[in-house]
Structure 1
């Protein structure tokens, strides 16, 4: 919703100011379809040329995040901490019993309590792979932390592909606008024998191309890329929390301490209150 509001403000301020200053929308509306075909079509073509099929689908899908916002909310961080708490308690009490949960999480009585987390394959794989490795005696905290850091960094780099693609489009749009404007000038020069009022409209139409390229780059596509980057970075804290808790577990801290380490590494606006988390963990113990 915030993204939609931002777009509305951009259009109202730019075109509203233009009209209030005495500008006429007629010449812009007349040239807009043709300029959009040239500039927008060239931008889409360049985007397709510079990305493979997976990258194109990834970028198109990720644009919706600009309007939806971060995937993980405060309740999800609390649920993640509860999930990790249950798994750590099982691992400490009966390592053999842990296998049925980490080997088949879709059938696990613990994992299935948290359906939203179950929709994220990477989060589930990160938890299960790390705990499985620990059960196989690969439990050096420093080595595991390094492995997890590299894995999270690789996933983050992959997730950022969409923002790089959008930034590339934004960087190219002003130049494409100039291309469209130059073509408009060429068209105008071919009609140099026309009266000044006609030439003026033709030159104005050509300048719409320059305006449109700059407007799309800095008013829409660039901000979309920036917002998408911030959303991906915020969602990345979810996986970092998994790393912090699982590494704390390998240091053999008490389960409650491991969870508190995770809570304190949760972003402030999503960090569950200590008392709320204690109640959630107590409810988890009672249910178990």
Structure 2
């Protein structure tokens, strides 16, 4: 569990509700079911309309990264690569075949198989970097689902506010209802802006940071595998890859 994600959500909404309370507002003044339906439903609908099915499915699968992001263990990754290099030096590249079969990470397995097959370093780099770029682009396309919702939510909130004002204008003959009616109308605007800036856009940026870290880890693996293909000393490989440590 990512404690900072939970803490960020709590602080953001606590500041919003606490500020409203300190200004003399009540909790009920921000509670409006129709406004929530307009903003949340309209935002999701607009984002789903622009997103392909595969992108939407990937976006939903990435949602868990917000509170449980994949931790890339760079130190452990370096140790794994150095272990592969030592095995290759002792037993030759064919000695990596059993290691490749036991490898659970698909990206690492592919790199090891390319080594075992005796592929040239340039070929290995091209294949693995292509996989890296495609995977990174796929994940960034999925993140655009949350970014687009962050862009639509404030506009949908304004639409909800205008709809509320239309309802208020129908009661101009009763001045007692104008003030509360206008206040309720603008709740939709608050929902739209808060939904975008306290949840959706931060979610998109959090996912981008996770994607970036994952790509850096795979770059580490690529450099290590290429170094093995070039026959570099395991100690030299370890020193080279240490630059990826934070």
> Taking structure 1 as the reference length, what is the TM-score of the superposition?
0.77
Equivalent residue runs for 1:139-150 within 5 Å: 139=120, 141-150=121-130
Paired position in structure 2 for 1:6: 8
Residue among 187, 192, 195 paired with 1:208: 187
Out of 210-219 and 53-62, give the one that drifted further. 53-62
Judge conservation of contact 1:43–1:169 (CA < 8 Å) in 2: yes
The DSSP-based 3-state class of the residue aligned with 1:43 is helix
The match for 2:233 among 233, 254, 277 is 254
Q: Does 1:136 align with 2:117?
A: yes
- Tell me how many residue pairs correspond in the alignment: 243
In the alignment, the residues of structure 1 paired with residue 186 and residue 112 of structure 2 have an alpha-carbon distance, to the nearest angstrom, of 61
Structure 1 residues 63-142: aligned runs within 5 Å? 63-72=63-72, 76-94=73-91, 95-102=93-100, 104-105=101-102, 111=103, 118=104, 124-139=105-120, 141-142=121-122
Q: In structure 1, the residue corresponding to 2:153 is in which secondary structure?
A: helix
Deviates more, 1:181-190 or 1:43-52: 43-52
Deviates most, 33-42 or 148-157: 148-157
Q: In the TM superposition, what is the alpha-carbon distance from 1:260 to its structure 2 partner?
A: 2.3
Gaps of 5+ in 2: none
For 1:275, the equivalent position in structure 2 comes to: none
Distance 1:181 1:91, change over 3 A: same
User: CA shift at 1:143, angstroms?
Assistant: 4.2
Other-structure match for 2:166: 186
2:133 corresponds in structure 1 to 153
| CA shift for structure 1 position 70 | 4.2
The TM-score, its normalising length taken from structure 2, stands at 0.89
Cα offset for 1:184? 0.7
Q: Which stretch has the larger CA shift, 59-68 or 206-215?
A: 59-68
Contact 2:38/2:160, CA 8 A, preserved across alignment: yes
Preserved contact between residue 70 and residue 232 of structure 1 (Cα < 8 Å): no
Q: Tell me how far apart the structure 1 counterparts of residues 9 and 216 of structure 2 sit (CA, whole Å).
A: 28
